[in-house]
């Protein structure tokens, strides 16, 4: 039976000994790492789960903006990152930009330097890249204008933007993943969710350890809510998001 459930953005909890737990074979997952410590743990997991890797899950390597300060003190993080891509990582993520009231100008500048480098690697190797972007859409667009995007495009995870930004990001073949927390469903948010082209839509949970049934339930609930907003059926949403994600993450 063809899979319908594809979780385009997840993490791995510290307690998960294996990537694929009982029941998870029914859900394909993209599993993001966020710092050098996680890269080491992910490297150990790949040998244990090789049989299911090509069909069910993909591990990705990324330096998250929240972890930049600690990792940035090490001159070796870029070498570790490249080694991961050569040995176990099938994509890049979770990377990105995050700005809030506590973010200094220097910190945000450092985030942009790190993201520019990671994007350049993704472009050079045409790898899938999953991006976290909070209150930094303008800076992200500016970076993409200088680095370009991989031929396969880029993936914005749980992005909170406008319908106009969907149009601006279309030139970079941008995919958008939507998770269980759809709201608040303001006029702007609803317009954004409706503006995402059908061929550029993913579903995600942004969750770590879950049994397969729980993960499927979250994806089903998200598909149902999104279908109501977009005027589609839940099955249509599940089918198209599974096909989109499989093409983006596992395609050539």
Domain containing 130 equals 5-250
Does residue 30 have a pLDDT over 90?
A: yes
At 107, phi and psi to the nearest 5? Answer: -65, -45
pLDDT the model gives residue 51: 44
* Burial readout 72-81 (b: 16 or more C-beta within 10 A, e: otherwise): eeeeebeebb
Which residue reads 């993201």 in tokens? 115
Sign (positive/negative) of CA torsion 179, 180, 181, 186?
positive
Does residue 174 have a pLDDT over 90?
A: yes
CATH number for position 36: 3.20.20.140
pLDDT the model gives residue 79: 94
**What mean pLDDT do residues 136-165 have?**
97
CA distance 143 to 115: 8
Domain count, the chain: 1
pLDDT the model gives residue 248: 97
Does residue 66 have a pLDDT over 80?
A: yes
This prediction's pTM: 0.93
Cα torsion for 31, 33, 39, 40, to the nearest 10°?
A: -70
């Amino acid at each position: 039976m063809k899979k319908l459930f594809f979780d385009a953005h997840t993490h791995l909890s510290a307690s998960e000994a294996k990537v694929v737990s009982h029941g998870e074979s029914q859900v394909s997952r993209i599993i993001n790492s966020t710092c050098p410590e996680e890269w080491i743990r992910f490297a150990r997991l790949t040998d244990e789960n090789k049989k299911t890797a090509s069909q069910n899950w993909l591990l990705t390597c990324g330096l998250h903006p929240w972890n930049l300060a600690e990792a940035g003190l090490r001159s070796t993080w870029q070498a570790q990152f490249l080694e991961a891509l050569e040995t176990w990582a099938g994509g890049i993520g979770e990377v990105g930009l995050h700005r809030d009231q506590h973010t200094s100008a220097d910190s945000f500048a450092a985030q942009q330097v790190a993201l520019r480098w990671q994007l350049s690697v993704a472009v050079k190797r045409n790898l899938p890249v999953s991006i976290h972007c909070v209150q930094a859409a303008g800076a992200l667009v500016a970076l993409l204008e200088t680095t370009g995007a991989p031929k396969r495009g880029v993936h914005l995870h749980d992005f909170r933007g406008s319908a106009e930004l969907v149009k601006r990001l279309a030139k970079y073949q941008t995919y958008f993943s939507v998770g269980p927390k759809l709201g608040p469903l303001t006029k702007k948010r609803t317009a954004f969710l409706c503006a995402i082209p059908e061929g550029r839509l993913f579903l995600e949970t942004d969750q770590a350890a879950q049994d397969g049934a729980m993960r499927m339930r979250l994806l089903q609930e998200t598909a149902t809510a999104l279908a109501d907003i977009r005027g589609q059926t839940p099955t249509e949403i599940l089918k198209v998001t599974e096909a989109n994600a499989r093409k983006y993450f596992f395609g050539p």
